[in-house]
Amino acid sequence: MKVDLKLLQEKIQYQFHNEELLIQALTHSSFSHEMTVRRRPDYERLEFLGDAVLELVSSEYIFHTYPQMSEGNMTKLRAGAVCEPALAHCANKLELGKFLYLGKGEECGGGRKRESIIADVMEAIVGAIFLDSGIEEAKNFIMTYILADMETNKMFYDSKSTLQELVQKKGSARLEYTVLEEKGPEHQKEFVVAVNLNGDRLGVGTGKNKKAAEQKAAYEALLKMKKNK
């Protein structure tokens, strides 16, 4: 499988000293398991490390940026900034899915677009940069590609509640979520959900369960309402 590592490093504006770390960060377990000789390590250990670095950097950023914010609200803001949908959103901006090493089954199953995978890879890249160059370079990557749009990212945490509060403030009435479609095999089912306000469609979202799809639909609605302000 040919992956353009040079292009990816140009996209993230970071050149690895040890390119094997980047390769590991992009390697899904399905690809590793299909290798019969010299099996390559997958990204899971790097993801573990990257998650810790991301939590530290985002915590420091929120602490200094919002000096009057309570501990509870800081926790909620951090959760929104680094949750799976937010990380997947950031990964999609970099088109990370194009650079993954996937096994044949995962490839056929749409793994390049699966949020859980590309979000994990985003954290694995943080971990890889940390091992390659230390905290400052990892922090630079996080600030540039994950925390740059905090206002958008924080809406991912609980879009449904945020949308409900916004609708109530406007005095609007019926906010309803409707399942439009269930697709895929039982173990990898995806739900497509629409959110409607007084019968008018505000957004559509897809997720691995109804709750996740509803959150996505609500997020799409919030973006639309923000754009139309």
Q: How far apart are the first and last CA of the chain?
A: 46
26/47 Cα distance (integer angstroms) = 10
Residue indicated by tokens 């790097």? 46
Output the CA–CA distances (angstroms, integers) from residue 86 to 24, 27, 40, 103, in the order listed.
22, 21, 28, 25
From 51, 107, 137, 190, the catalytic residue: 51
CA quadruple 93, 98, 103, 106: dihedral sign:
positive
Closest to 112 in 3D by CA, of 26, 171, 186: 26
Active site residue 151: no
For residues 213 and 206, is the Cβ–Cβ distance under 8 A?
A: yes
Asked if 186 is an active-site residue, the reply is no
Catalytic residue among 123, 132, 158, 214: 123
Cβ(103)–Cβ(31) below 8 Å? yes
Helix or strand holding residue 190 (H, E): strand 190-197
Residues serving a catalytic function are: 51, 123
